[in-house]
Structure 1
Amino acid sequence: MGKRWWVVIAGVLVVGVWSARHNDEPKAAPEAAVSTKAKPTPKPTPTPAAPTKPSPTKQPEKSVGNWYDDYDPAHFAVQVRKSAKQAGVNPQLLMAILYNEDYKPHTPEFERSWQRMKPDASFGIANMHRAAFNETKRGRFANRQWEELPDHPDLAIQAAAWHLHDLANRLPANRSSKLTKDELLALGYNAGAGNMRAFARGAHLGSQVQSYLDRLHTNWSKSGTAVS
């Protein structure tokens, strides 16, 4: 029903109510009848409403900066290649480490909550500890802080690349281990430079270190694909 008909119906209802109230009041003496018969007013023909185009449905906007909602280390292939080139390390190794460290949610709020319960916890997508970050940043990005890592994956990747660079400089020249350079650097990233040097000389790998190395092997192929 058109808008005009709603107006006409409302007017009829108002007149009807007024007439009912008027008939209940005392009537005055009748006046002389005057012929004022009016011609009936024709009912207006309702005009069909013009069809309206449906408003386009607005698509929800993606949250800016919420990279952690659908986190996959491969999403940062560009940053991995760039940082690895700057630091002179293998980009496949750097990517594989990001996959190795992808064992917990990297939501910034989660990381900070976890760190409050465990003060020595690591930060960022590369799971770097405070001491390693502070040592790595000297002369490179000294104005950056370890506390920034959960919110800045680019910084976490850059720091991990330079940390691998520094570990490589600490490898012994003569190695008796059958482990490759990249394997030793990954173990150094996980267990520290001192243990890395011991492994390079043939020290036995513990169960946790071996598990880290096994995960590196599992992630190696897809890491190469991601950075290729």
Structure 2
Amino acid sequence: MVKAERRRGGRAQWLVLPVAALIGWGCVRAGGTHSESGSPAPTPSASASSSASAAPKPGGTYDPADYAPQVRTYAKKAEVSAQLLMAILYNEDYKPHDAAFERSWQKYKPDAAFGIANMHRAAFDETKRGRDFASRKWEELPDDRGLAVEAAAWYLHDMSAQLPSHWAGSYTRDELMALGYNAGGGNMAAFARGVKPGSQAADYLSRLRGNWKKAGSAVAG
């Protein structure tokens, strides 16, 4: 879940979900749709993010590797590592990425993140400025996974631009950018100065390293 300066991740918070959110999710799924009743349809985009391959699969099934083409495309445009972007998608795959579920959960927790890259509204609105997807809305992220990948790629681009020329510790550039994705640019700068990451950021980095080889294989094709 990306916030401008602070985010929280981890699989544990999704092990016990509020009954209200689950009921809402189940009711919508029973109707055979992933769109919230009464919500406007996502605005079509001329970019690759609006392609059929970027749409969620029926039933909410999801594998980050299915979006390798979008990852390669947007990583190249944003001049970031495709392997890093894919590894982050694996890191963020800790909750059900189902559009109806996300909207039900957001009603319970208004500051929840949207999309397969778990981006918060403020981070998305900041990242899209001056970019090809500037006219798109944060509310579209659950339905348009290509848009979620595109936004995440440019967020990483912005993190890269904020990195100092030299930093303390043995972190790679990609690892610091991942920490920035997880904790925000201010915290990334602190980690680069030698501040020790907290338990959540440290766990995020550990999982990134664990997903690194798998992410490389996914984008190699």
TM-score normalised to the size of structure 1?
Answer: 0.71
**Number of the residue aligned with 2:207:** 215
Percent identical among aligned pairs is 64
Whichever of the two has the greater Rg, that structure is 1
Runs of 5+ consecutive residues of structure 1 not aligned to the other structure: 1-62
Aligned partner of 1:146 among 134, 138, 157 = 138
Runs of 5+ consecutive residues of structure 2 not aligned to the other structure: 1-33, 35-51
Name whichever of 167-176 and 144-153 sits farther off: 167-176
The alignment covers a number of residue pairs equal to 166
Aligned partner of 1:166 among 158, 163, 166 = 158
Greater RCO, 1 or 2 (C-alpha within 8 Å, sep 6+):
2
Aligned partner of 2:172 among 174, 180, 195 = 180
Tell whether the 8 Å contact from 2:56 to 2:143 is kept in structure 1 after alignment.
no
Stretches (4+) displaced over 3 A: 63-66
TM-score normalised to the size of structure 2?
Answer: 0.73
Aligned partner of 1:155 among 147, 155, 178 = 147
**Number of the residue aligned with 2:11:** none
Shift of 1:177: 2.3
Deviations 1:101-135 (A, max 9, x none): 00000100000111111111100000001111001
Aligned partner of 2:106 among 92, 100, 115 = 115
Shift of 1:69: 3.1
Shift of 1:183: 0.3
**Number of the residue aligned with 1:70:** 61
Cα 1:126–1:184 change in 2 (3 A) is: same
Q: How does 1:45-124 map to 2 (within 5 A)?
A: 65-67=55-57, 69-124=60-115
**Number of the residue aligned with 2:181:** 189
Shift of 1:70: 2.4
CA distance in 1, matches of 2:74, 2:107: 30
The code of the aligned residue for 2:189 comes to R
The code of the aligned residue for 1:93 comes to L
Shift of 1:66: 4.2
